[in-house]
Amino acid sequence: MSDFLISFWQTYNTLFYTIFIHGMLGLSIYLTLACGLLSLGNAAFMGIGAYTSALLTMKAGFPFGISLIAGGILPSMVALAIGIPTLRLSGVYLAMATLGFGEVVRVVLLNMEITGGSMGINGIPQKTELWHLVLIMGIIIFFFIRLRDSKYGRAMEAINEDEVASSVMGIRTTYFKVWTFTAGAFIAGVAGGLNAHFTYFISPREYGFEPAVDILTFAILGGTKTFWGPIAGSAILTVLPEMMRFMGPYRLAVNGIILLLVVLYLPNGIVSRGTFISLKKLFSERKSNA
């Protein structure tokens, strides 16, 4: 039995690490989605965090913890700079600005010397351990739990439902939006740092538009009614592609199809009452047929 567990762990431990990192990324975009905003820049924030923390540990010899935090702070500063002009406007602008921003980050990473251009950075010391991931994920979840039943959580939900009505209720909507966008960038940056210190190697390719769509898919599939949604979505979408390797280049299409089907048929995602009700229906139909 324990032999089995050991070999299972040896085969799949990467998968566990990845589930945690993807979970954090899913939560990072959830934070903005919960305010009714679409950020397509979270992969780029992850990238900034990954490069920042990797360079700090490798070139400056910073302790891991410090470079992780720096890897969260820099992207959130950048988010602040992008967020303040765009978030005064309707939500569409954020989606578009962040989409363009992701491209810029990729181009900059490709062309800077210190980032190693298209070769990326190799040989990042492997410092991320499972307990780091569990701890940080725990902190994030703790934060979301406390947020849920507070004035801040309610304000975000209200903004998501109706921004104009919220502003008339005395909520400083722009302030909240900037804040959640920035905090989302922080989480994405830390996740990027953790990932960099786990995979040895990072390159600009990992932080372009496609990863941004992946992150979005985590959250949308899982659902954005509660923060458990993105966590579940990330876990599913991390395990699923492993099983779909046989699909080769069409694997990405599966992501697209999931995104489309969920938006159309499960608008609240998998972790929602809708799923519960349709499952119940399914089973009661089965029973009545039998």
Partner 1 sequence: MLRVENITRDFGGLRVLDDVIFEIEEGTIYGIIGPNGAGKTTLFNIISGLLKPTGGRIIFNTIDITGLKPHAITAAGISRTFQNIRIFKEMTLLENVLVGMHRLFSYSAVSMLFELKKKRREEKELREKAYDILSIVRLSEKAGLKAESLSYGEQRKLELARALATEPKLILVDEPAAGMNPAETEELMGEIVRINSRKYTICLIEHDMKVVMGICRRIGVLNFGKFIAQGSPDEIKNNPLVIEAYLGRDETGA
Partner 2 sequence: MFYQQLANALALGAVYSLFAIGFTLIFGVMEIITLAHGAVFMVGAFAGYTAATKFGLGIIPCLIISMAASGFIGFVLDLVAIRPLRKKKFHHLAPMIATIGCATIITSIYQGIFGAEAYRFPFDFVPNENYEFRGIQLTQLQLTIIFTSFILMIMMIFFLNKTKWGKAVRAVAENSRTGALLGIPVERVYQFTMIISSSFGGAAGVLTGLNFNTIHTFMGGPILHRGIAVIILGGMGDIRGAMAGGLILGFAEVLSVAYISSDFRDAVSFGLLFLILLIRPSGIFGKKIERKG
Q: Which residues bind partner 2 (CB under 8 A)?
A: 33, 36, 38, 82, 85-86, 88-93, 95-97, 99-101, 103-104, 107-108, 110-111, 163-164, 208-210, 213, 216, 220, 248-253, 255-260, 263-264, 267
Single out the residue of 60, 27, 46, 44 nearest to residue 194, CA to CA.
46
> Of 71, 60, 59, 28, whose CA–CA distance to 195 is shortest?
71
Answer yes or no whether residue 90 interacts with partner 1 by CB under 8 A: no
**DSSP string over 100-128:** HHHHHHHHHHHH-TTTTGGG-B-------
Nearer to partner 1 by C-beta: 273 or 280? Answer: 273
d(CA 34, CA 44): 20
28/255 with CB nearer partner 2? 255
15 or 263: CB nearest partner 2: 263
DSSP element (H, E) containing 171: none
- Tell the smallest beta-carbon distance from residue 172 to partner 1 (Å): 5
Asked if 165 is part of the footprint of partner 1 (rule: CB under 8 A), the reply reads yes
Which residue in the set 161, 252, 257, 279 belongs to the binding site for partner 1 (CB under 8 A)?
161
Between 96 and 139, CB nearer to partner 1: 139
Whole-angstrom distance, CA of residue 119 vs CA of residue 117: 5
Place of tokens 């349709």: 278
Q: How far is CA 226 from CA 147, 200, 218, in A?
A: 11, 33, 13
Closest distance of CB 262 from partner 1, Å: 18
Q: Which does 170 bind (CB under 5 to 8 A by kind): partner 1, partner 2, none?
A: partner 1
Which residues are at the interface with partner 1 (CB under 8 A)? Answer: 142-143, 146-147, 149-152, 154-155, 157-158, 161-162, 164-173
